[in-house]
Amino acid sequence: MGLGSLTSRAMIRRASTILNTTRSHNFSLVRSIVSTPELKNTASAAAEATPDPPLPPPRPPVNNARVHFPNPEDAIEVFVDGYSVKVPKGFTVLQACEVAGVDIPRFCYHSRLSIAGNCRMCLVEVEKSPKPVASCAMPALPGMKIKTDTPIAKKAREGVMEFLLMNHPLDCPICDQGGECDLQDQSMAFGSDRGRFTEMKRSVVDKNLGPLVKTVMTRCIQCTRCVRFASEVAGVEDLGILGRGSGEEIGTYVEQLMTSELSGNVIDICPVGALTSKPFAFKARNWELKGTESIDVTDAVGSNIRIDSRGPEVMRITPRLNEDVNEEWISDKTRFCYDGLKRQRLNDPMIRGSDGRFKAVSWRDALDVIAEVMHKVKPEEIVGVAGKLSDAESMMALKDFLNKMGSNNIWCEGNGGQPQADLRSGYLLNTGIADLETADVFLLIGTQPRVEAAMVNARIRKAVRSNHAKVGYIGPATDLNYDYEHLGTGPQTLQEIAEGTHSFFSAIKNAKNPAIVVGAGLFEREDKDAILSIVETIAKSANVIRPDWNGLNVLLLNAAQAASLDLGLVPESDKSIESAKFLYLMGADDVNMDKVPSDAFVVYQGHHGDQGVYRANVILPASAFSEKEGTYANTEGRAQQTVPAVPTVGDARDDWKIIRALSETAGVNLPYDSLIDVRERIRTVAPNLLSMDEREPATFSTLIKPEIKKEINPVPFKPSIENFYMTDSITRASKIMAQCSSQLLKK
């Protein structure tokens, strides 16, 4: 409804009041729904020049956001409700209002997506403008006088809200969005107290978007946030708008599932209950949940998450804003792996009897048996492997314990035979996840960021979209959701680039901010030192590492990897596992069990009955990441902490506590009794793991490393992750992830 109808109604009203004197029943001709009485007569209210009350003090910006001025002379001054605010040129009216501390209601506008301007909820009054303007789409101009609290703005919002609610079903009591619904909240704040719509509401057929996103399309208000998210951030053209007018529908053009690794985020950005979580459907109400701000461990990105739990159960996982790591998105694996935390859990210490069957025993018995065996074998035959999901504290304890027992054969899985842990820059994403956005040429070597680290891939895609960055890729054919140049499949291409004969070399050399990303899957190769040496040669000759820009990156695969290399979990000998008599697996499930000698004694300490337990002699139940406080370093070297959200299951204990207890039984007491003491011990080894939430860049660049001349193996690079949805013991135990891999990975 435009201003024209508003004024015409006001005129009719005035006419009717005149008529009232003669025929009083004529009053019912005009039925106003405006709830605030002073709005009923906008024209006269505006005409009455009441003396302005003194203005309240200015408000701080919404969410205490800081305004970044890329160019100080580009600042313009606008007035919001009488206050002057300075905003950079190019800001919209809505952003200017946010800086002034006024939160404008909106549905279609999302700060990380392009502007659509089709919900009309953000209408504000601008002086000298004939109509209310959609503030999300209107650029702020110098000297603009914006009014957000006037009768016209209020009435415009009420009108828009009435139109939106016309076709919105009244099923809030059974809607999963209920309680966290933008439409619900804003209709309470800005809507009218009654509607005039008496006809039938329209209904829309639900779409099948796969096992993760549930659709109730009748609830959709056509804000198109999901469509823009899919095409801009996720990079899949799966969703779109069909039809026009009241026949407008969101859907996949042809019957198909949404095959994006970020598809779960449309649940968060949907302002109504049209797109909701399928595994979470009808499981809980959002106000029953306890939120715990934690860290994701299913990949090396360390996405910031909120674990929503009810009692002893994790009910869902949602993203938490961190501009430096995951912005406000998370991958589907992060979001939906939580049902794995409830299945296949180890809850009692167990010992394998002589008949080959496991028997539940007490902690004391289990630890006694292990200590006895450990003292029987030679120290160099003791081997320890930390798993993908291990936290820094437990890895520290394991290393200290095995060192005290006389062994130094301890490593973290995924790091390969002889990892290079001397220089931190040799295994970190030195550019930083956020700074990857500013790169303009990418060279991806043996890495498929889309499956290895979906959030890093989203950053690369952002760079490709905004900077038109060029991406070169060496590795097996893959589907990255942006345009890339497939340079080759193996190390030979790399050698050509190093020699300068390949055309892509000049692209790297001429780039302003080139970024080379090496996949951690190469760590498993025999010739990894030679390959890394070639990559360093390219970096040197193309000037990738400069004082202001370090473009040589390693993209790690697992949450534990960076911390384990920081703590120096490097095995003494390459073939230690073949000669092991005592193997301590701390959540390590991907160790090749065929290599373990048949007479070796295997201890498995972990939270899931996964691949590791089948060869184990003793099982010690430990807590999962949602149940313990642990430090994890992500692929860029940022130390972050998980926080316990739910209690441990059964008789399980924290990893480091188990090792501490075992050390006492074995007679080599570890000198720490609390988490604080363990961290003090970590401080002496890797102090960067204690500066929480801060990225500690590597001090020395890899350029000081001596060049290694070794033969490279021309075998092409292999994909390091076969199945995006199932990479560790938690995701392998998850039913939702199993559904995803059977339905979405179908070729």
Partner 1 sequence: MASIVRNTFKAIKEKGLGTFLRELREEGYLRCLPDGNLLQTKIHNIGGKVVGVDLYGNKYYENLNAQYGRHRWVEYASKNRYNASQVPPEWHGWLHHVTDHTGDEILMLKPSRYGIGHKENFTGEGDEKIYHSKGHALNPGQRDWTRYQSWQPGKN
Residues that bind partner 1 (CB under 8 A): 311-313, 341-348, 350, 356-358, 608-609, 613-614, 649-650
CB 135 within 8 A of CB 124: yes
Tokens of 697: 């860049």
Q: CB of 649: closest distance to partner 1 in angstroms?
A: 5
CB 480 within 8 A of CB 517: no
Q: CB of 656: closest distance to partner 1 in angstroms?
A: 22
Q: CB of 387: closest distance to partner 1 in angstroms?
A: 16
* Dihedral angle computed from the Cα positions of residues 154, 160, 162 and 166, in that order, rounded to the nearest 10 degrees: -170
Q: What are the φ and ψ backbone dihedral angles of 76, each rounded to 5 degrees?
A: -120, 160
Q: Considering beta carbons, is residue 135 or 309 the nearer one to partner 1?
A: 309
Q: What are the φ and ψ backbone dihedral angles of 588, each rounded to 5 degrees?
A: -90, 115
Q: Considering beta carbons, is residue 485 or 651 the nearer one to partner 1?
A: 651
Best CA proximity match to 189, nearest among 115, 121, 256: 121
Cα–Cα distance, 329 to 305 (Å, whole number): 9
Q: Considering beta carbons, is residue 720 or 734 the nearer one to partner 1?
A: 734
Tokens of 721: 């992750």
Q: Considering beta carbons, is residue 347 or 573 the nearer one to partner 1?
A: 347
Q: What are the φ and ψ backbone dihedral angles of 126, each rounded to 5 degrees?
A: -120, 135
Q: Considering beta carbons, is residue 604 or 725 the nearer one to partner 1?
A: 604
Residue bearing tokens 């050399």: 509
Best CA proximity match to 297, nearest among 71, 625, 8: 625
Cα–Cα distance, 157 to 164 (Å, whole number): 10
| Per-residue CA distances from 229 to 167, 302, 453, 555 (Å) | 24, 22, 18, 25
Tell me the β-bridge partners of 411.
Answer: 385
Strands 582-586 and 601-606, by their bridges, are parallel
Q: CB of 340: closest distance to partner 1 in angstroms?
A: 10
Q: CB of 197: closest distance to partner 1 in angstroms?
A: 40
Residue bearing tokens 């009041």: 17
Q: Considering beta carbons, is residue 308 or 393 the nearer one to partner 1?
A: 308
Tokens of 713: 């193996």
Q: CB of 609: closest distance to partner 1 in angstroms?
A: 3
Q: Considering beta carbons, is residue 270 or 346 the nearer one to partner 1?
A: 346
Cα–Cα distance, 9 to 3 (Å, whole number): 10
Q: Considering beta carbons, is residue 332 or 339 the nearer one to partner 1?
A: 339
The three-class DSSP label of residue 455 is helix
Report which residue type is found at 128: K
Q: CB of 635: closest distance to partner 1 in angstroms?
A: 30
Helix (H) or strand (E) holding 297: none
Q: CB of 583: closest distance to partner 1 in angstroms?
A: 17
Q: CB of 351: closest distance to partner 1 in angstroms?
A: 11
Q: CB of 348: closest distance to partner 1 in angstroms?
A: 8
Residue bearing tokens 């959030």: 455
Best CA proximity match to 60, nearest among 96, 102, 95: 102
Q: CB of 650: closest distance to partner 1 in angstroms?
A: 7
Q: Considering beta carbons, is residue 341 or 460 the nearer one to partner 1?
A: 341
Q: Considering beta carbons, is residue 348 or 452 the nearer one to partner 1?
A: 348
Tell me the β-bridge partners of 277.
Answer: 213
Q: Considering beta carbons, is residue 37 or 311 the nearer one to partner 1?
A: 311
Q: Considering beta carbons, is residue 310 or 486 the nearer one to partner 1?
A: 310
Q: Considering beta carbons, is residue 341 or 658 the nearer one to partner 1?
A: 341
Instruction: Please tell me the chain's helix, strand, coil percentages from 3-state DSSP, rounded to the nearest 5.
Output: 35, 20, 50
Best CA proximity match to 514, nearest among 495, 481, 540: 540
DSSP letters, 493-522, are: HHHHHHHT-SHHHHHHHH-SSEEEEEEGGG
Strands 441-445 and 514-519, by their bridges, are parallel
Q: Considering beta carbons, is residue 310 or 705 the nearer one to partner 1?
A: 310
Q: CB of 360: closest distance to partner 1 in angstroms?
A: 9
Q: CB of 347: closest distance to partner 1 in angstroms?
A: 5
Q: CB of 616: closest distance to partner 1 in angstroms?
A: 10
Residue 292 per-residue DSSP state: E
Cα–Cα distance, 262 to 744 (Å, whole number): 12
Best CA proximity match to 370, nearest among 584, 598, 139: 584
CB 472 within 8 A of CB 442: yes
